[in-house]
Amino acid sequence: FAAALQCEVADPAARGCGECHACRTVLGGTHPDVTVLATEAVSYRIEDVRALVEAGQSTPATGRWRIFLMEDADRMTERATNVLLKAIEEPPARTIWMLCTPSPADVLPTVRSRCRLITLSIPAVEQVAELLHRRDGLDRETALTTARISQSHVGMARRLARDPEALERRERILSLPLQATAVSDAMALAATLAEVSKAEAESAAEARDAEELEALRRSLGLEPGEPVPPKLRHHVKRLEEDQTRRRRRAVRDSLDRAMIDVMGLFRDVLRVQLGADGELINEHRRDEIEAYARGTAGDSAEVLARIDAVTTARERIAANVPEQLALEAMMLALLPRRVRTPRRR
């Protein structure tokens, strides 16, 4: 969208060509009038938002518009949102703010009411598979399988295809709710879910953290193994603080992804119970899902209640409820009804 706004083609209907200099620089992340703000922490720092607002007063240098694109706008705190509010309420004449979020409900109403909503559809599984095959060189069968089980999440599909351990952790997570048949199971399985999600996040972070530290040491002129002089330690400390924030975000994202996978599992159970046509998200586990749907799952209303329980857990964790408490409550809600509501004597 930003590339189309900056496109140099004269005909407005043909803008977004992807070939002119403006389109190429926007898509390549080097256009001087397009600023992208992203965070790898749990939330945006208020100083980063303030800096963006100050930059928002500038006029376009070479392009048609001055564009600010904020990824994960739902990660702004209320204070950070209030800093941004004035800027999006009365932007300069040639300035456009783009706030990206999974759902309009994820941003404050004061911001939402000042924006125009543009809804982007999730690509079909076949489209994601074709992209992974063409761009990343995955064989078609692997691309299709990982695109389906990731529910069309391109980055996750690529990771599952390339990292057997990540795929194994996902399968382990899917087994957890199917194993919960007693209250004691729910408590233990909640702890296991948190543990597996943390392992997934840390496996992706360790190599990157080490590379960043080594790159910083080289930029400071330090030899391998050489101690960091006191006057340079603040650089290392700042990097470590950034990495800690990123790890906290990664753990939460990994946990959220795990709960999305669990929701996908119960959607599959519901599809089986209702006799819906088409492949399941977890087609490779159809026999297990069909057995669960006929037995422990209960009726479709009970399965829908389980999906709601997972949604509630996601919302609680996003609202900073302690993760273990939210997961335990979720796992208890996933138990069969006969366990949750024992007969009265």
E strands of the chain, at which residues?
34-37, 66-70, 95-99
Nearest to 302 by CA among 333, 276, 330, 326: 333
- Structure tokens of 18? 């992807």
One-letter identity of residue 211? E
Question: What pLDDT, on the 0 to 100 scale, is given for residue 96?
Answer: 92
Only one residue has tokens 């809804």, namely 119
pLDDT of amino acid 148: 96
Q: Are 132 and 157 in contact (CB under 8 A)?
A: yes
Task: Give me the tens of pLDDT residue by residue for the chain, a chain 345 residues long.
Answer: 999 999 999 888 889 898 999 999 999 999 999 999 888 777 888 888 998 888 888 889 999 999 999 998 888 888 888 888 888 888 888 999 999 998 888 888 888 888 899 988 889 999 999 999 999 999 999 999 999 999 999 989 999 999 998 899 999 999 988 888 888 888 888 999 998 888 888 877 777 788 888 888 888 888 888 888 888 888 888 888 888 888 888 888 889 999 999 999 999 999 999 999 889 999 999 999 999 998 876 789 999 999 999 999 999 998 889 999 999 999 999 988 766 665 555
Amino acid at 82: N
Only one residue has tokens 């330090």, namely 222
Q: Is 97 helix (H, G, I), strand (E, B) or coil?
A: strand
* Residues contacting 234, CB < 8 A, separation 6+: none
User: What integer pLDDT is reported at residue 316 of this predicted model?
Assistant: 93
Question: Cα–Cα distances in Å, from 215 out to 209, 236, 245, 309, 341?
Answer: 10, 11, 19, 44, 57
**CA pair distance 321, 252, nearest whole angstrom:** 12
Phi, psi dihedrals of residue 221, rounded to the nearest 5°: 80, 25
Q: 43: closest CA among 325, 319, 332? A: 319
Tokens in use for 302? 């009970």
Transcribe 246-293 into DSSP letters: HHHHHHHHHHHHHHHHHHHHHHHHHHHHHT--S--TTGGGHHHHHHHH
CB 66 within 8 A of CB 94: yes
**In what helix (H) or strand (E) does residue 333 lie, and over which residues does it extend?**
helix 323-334
Q: What is the pLDDT of residue 198?
A: 85
Full-model pTM: 0.74
Residue among 109, 113, 95, 137 nearest 6 (CA): 95
Q: Which two tokens stand for residue 206?
A: 């360790």
CB atoms within 10 A of CB 153: 18
What tokens does 1 get?
């969208």
- Rounded to whole angstroms, the Cα distance separating 181 from 164 reads 29
